Amino acid sequence: MGRGRRDKILLSAEERKRLEEVSRNGYSSAKKIIHAQILLMSDEGEQAPKKWTDGEIATALNIHSNTVGRIRRRYLE
């Protein structure tokens, strides 16, 4: 998935806050924390500090880019 996709993730302030809590608390499962980090980095809303590509997210989190795309699609469904 490239940057010009039509399935953009736009997180509300509430969603962003909840995902940040999950990714920072350390009490959630590793899978849940990684998914939260993927969604936070995939956010293309006004509150997003940086626009990340799937490849950049995969490299930063040391996961495969297909995983990033799969989590993004699952969230949008």
The pLDDT assigned to 30 comes to 92
pLDDT per residue as tens, the chain (77 positions): 444 456 788 999 999 999 999 999 888 899 999 999 999 999 988 888 888 888 999 999 999 999 999 999 999 98
Contact of 54 with 65, CB cutoff 8 Å: yes
Q: Which two tokens stand for residue 17?
A: 């806050």
User: Structure pTM?
Assistant: 0.86
> How many Å apart are CA 62 and CA 47, to the nearest integer?
24
> How many Å apart are CA 61 and CA 58, to the nearest integer?
5
Amino acid at 77: E
- 62 half-sphere exposure, CB direction, 13 A CA radius: 0
The pLDDT assigned to 46 comes to 82
